[in-house]
Structure 1
Amino acid sequence: MNRFGAPRRWVISVVALATLIGRVGCPPANADQNNPSAREQKILRIQQLIEEHNLEEAQRQLAEATKQYPSDEGLQNLLGVVEAQQGKYGEAETNFRQAIRRAPKFTAAYLNLGRLYQENFPADPETQRKALEVYQRVLEYEPANAEANYQSAVLFLRQGEYQNSLSHVSSLPTETQNSAQALSIRCADSAGLGNRQQTEATVRRLLDAQDFSEADAQQALLGLVPAERDDLIVSLLENLQHREALSPALLQTLGVSYERVNRPADARTTLEKSFAAGKPSVDVLLELTRIARLEKDYQGALGYLAHAQALEPSNARLYYDFGVVCVDLSLIAEARNAFEKAVKLEPENPAYNYAMGAASAFRHDPAEAVPYFEKYLKLKPQDPRGKLAMGAALFRAKDFDAARPWLKEAAATPATASKAHYYLGVMALEAGQLDEAVTELQQVLKDRPDDADALAELGQYCLMRKEYKQAEKYLERALQVDPDHYAANFYLLTLYTRTKDARRAAEEQRFEALKKLLAEKTQEFLRIVEVRPFENP
């Protein structure tokens, strides 16, 4: 069966034009003008020249024929076809519209005009609207026209008007409705309308269709992707892959769907094939980065991002994502360098400023973080996370007076209250305000009973009050939660030293090993930053 194009080939058949012979309506210039067969022969010759792509000669003969038939809509249509093939889209549009004005039911001219809009301005919503209007005009006087119904279905589908699209597919001849072309539209429409049973049934028919091709798969995806039917996308594309090699674009779609149906290994292999087969794509590398992180292959993720940076060195997001993966590896210095590049490229991006401030808070001078958090709060003044981060940076810089107001604001919001109370408690301890300190730290445990930071500081509080048994209880609870907690181990060593506990030597040895382990790691950084990777920052 003849497949529709996307859209169909140029309509230049003599059959379509011969019906117009008796309606030219121009006075005869010579004997040939009253002889329909002579006119038809001219049109046949011009048609042959167009099909041979001899456009220059076709245009010359059209000029001669037009002198004989100056008001002939058929010749006007053919001239539009020639001009369209020459890339003269404005002139072609003019001629198709002139042909339609001369013959308001000249179907070939309508279909050619619709094709002109679809082929040469596919991404322009205005021309898609014009194309749809053209096909709808044909259907006003010829409601069963298969081409107009098919192209209308395609255009409505692209606009997300699934019910209108489905109505036009249902108006096609039965044989056509059973084709993969029509089934792919029905599949997309059913998915878009949320009809799961109909979608699955249509996919089964598509899988059995002998003429199922990549073009049909692409069309079905217009509904399956928005509906997030990744299970069906995988079935369709795996089936197609057995018939023909998938294009890089379809490989990318299949890879993403593999990821969403929890097949990360297949996703990664397929996306790497897509990248190797197609034009180097940062989007594909970002998908690969996401999957590598899911598999905890952080070095692999950095490799993908480094490749992406080479492709788009001015893309700030790539440096931001690189920094996030460095955080995964506790490479804080490298993370800061990456965040710094992101901020330089997009200084008004709040997420980049926040990440840069968080990384800077753990340098030798934590005050370096303050300008970045100030910028973040200027961009997002109501975000309590920024207030907490500002307070934490000032806390680390030992500027307690400046930190306190920010932390008190953060303590008033449930999402940041626990950590704010923790910092306020530590500051009170350092100031010797023990009653205030225990109140703040106990507040943390109300919300988070297993907060190792608060438990460790409560152990320090008890040490300061020489309540050694209670101090040991708090510190042991902290180490049950986090055996490598730096402060809890330090306070426990202090306790053993003061009480001359026999476990002192073993704890001292453990603490020395822990210091080496944590020399370049800052677990607190991970808790404070809470960078949300691979969202649009």
Structure 2
Amino acid sequence: MDENEKAIEAIAKGEFEEALELLNKAIEKNPDDATAYINFGNILAEVGESERALSFYQRSLNIDPNAAAALYGAGNVSYNAEEYAEALKLYQQAHKAGLDDGSLHYMMGLAYYQTEKTAHALACFQRALEWDESDTEARFYYGMCLARTEQLDEAVTQFQQVVEEDDKHADAYYNLGVASLMKDSVREAITYFEKAVEAQPDHMLALNGKEQAEKMLEE
């Protein structure tokens, strides 16, 4: 097992300092080891050292311009910085370079969603679910895209499956409440808003939705 493989094991255990020592050794042995720079960047990104992470991803790309994992990592840094258009460009480059998995399609979907390219986002979340049907967050955002495109019944089906998989998913309960209001099922809406608040007591949208729905019952 080489230093990179040992470092990956250490990263999985959360032993970042040990992983960094191993990666430093890997780079000293082989300064042209693109993988070591990627793993180094991943650790820095994980601990919030975004600028340093990007510099390591760039070093990897200087060695191998088609290092898909470096492009993906840089895309995640850009996404977390709310630079969604840049993130999307990097994800697309990673895909072109050969990366094709559920995580990439999920993150591409988020980037499209944040830039309001809903049709593209919907397709990406659908692809992510094809990779992993148990990806609850991909399913939630797939439902959100369906709701945005006025496919309300289909969206409700997805949100219901989300809360079956995660009974503490406040946002899914909230959106089920909104859908119930749109169908004039006020009491049902209140129940969903209450479940959202139970899961997340400071969910202001659900608190407001519950208040408004209760006023509708009083009228």
TM over 0.5: yes
In 1, Cα distance between equivalents of 2:152 and 2:209: 19
- Which has more radius of gyration? 1
Distance in structure 1 (CA, Å) of the matches to 2:140 and 2:93: 24
Task: Write the deviation string for residues 26-49 of structure 1: whole angstroms up to 9, x where unpaired.
Answer: xxxxxxxxxxxxxxxxxxxxxxxx
2:101 corresponds to 1:349: yes
Q: Is the 8 A contact 1:429 1:461 kept in 2?
A: no
Question: What is the identity, as a one-letter code, of the residue corresponding to 1:339?
Answer: Y
Give the equivalent residue in structure 1 for 2:208.
Answer: 459
Q: Which residue of 1 aligns with 2:128?
A: 376
Distance 1:362 1:260 in 2: 32
Change (3 A) 1:377 1:259: closer
RMSD: 3.6
1:87-109 Cα offsets, whole Å, 9 max, x none, are: xxxxxxxxxxxxxxxxxxxxxxx
Q: Which runs of 5+ in 1 are unaligned?
A: 1-221, 223-248, 468-537
- Aligned-pair CA distance for 1:294: 4.1
Instruction: Number of aligned residue pairs: give it.
Output: 215
The partner residue of 1:280 within 32, 36, 51 is 32
Indicate which of 64, 82, 94 corresponds to 1:330.
Answer: 82
Distance 1:461 1:432, change over 3 A: farther
Match of residue 51 from structure 2: 299
Structure that is richer in helix per residue: 2
Which residue number corresponds to residue 421 of structure 1?
173
Tell me, which stretches of 5 or more residues in structure 2 are unaligned? none
Q: Which residue of 1 aligns with 2:119?
A: 367
TM-score w.r.t. the length of structure 1 is 0.35
Deviations 1:395-432, CA, capped at 9 Å, x for gaps: 23443233122222223223675432222112334555
Q: Report 1 or 2 for greater relative contact order, CA contacts < 8 Å, sequence distance ≥ 6.
A: 2
Q: Aligned to 1:364, what secondary structure does the other structure show?
A: coil
Please state how far the C-alpha of 1:348 moved relative to its aligned partner. Answer: 4.4
CA distance in 1, matches of 2:114, 2:11: 39
Provide the rounded CA distance (Å) in 1 between the counterparts of 2:155 and 2:190. Answer: 19
2:139 is the alignment partner of 1:390: no
Whether the aligned pair in 2 keeps the contact of 1:259 and 1:291 (CA below 8 Å) is no
Deviation at 1:305, TM superposition (A): 1.1
The AA in structure 2 aligned to 1:461 is: K
Q: What percent of counterpart residues are identical?
A: 19
Q: What TM-score results when the alignment is normalised by the length of structure 2? A: 0.77
2:114 match: secondary structure? coil
Question: 1:410, 1:416 within 8 Å by CA — same for their partners in 2?
Answer: no
4+ residue runs over 6 A deviation: 249-254, 256-261
Paired AA for residue 109 in structure 2: G
Aligned to 2:73: 321
- 1:252–1:270 contact (8 Å) kept in structure 2: no
* Contact persistence 1:374–1:390 (CA under 8 A): yes
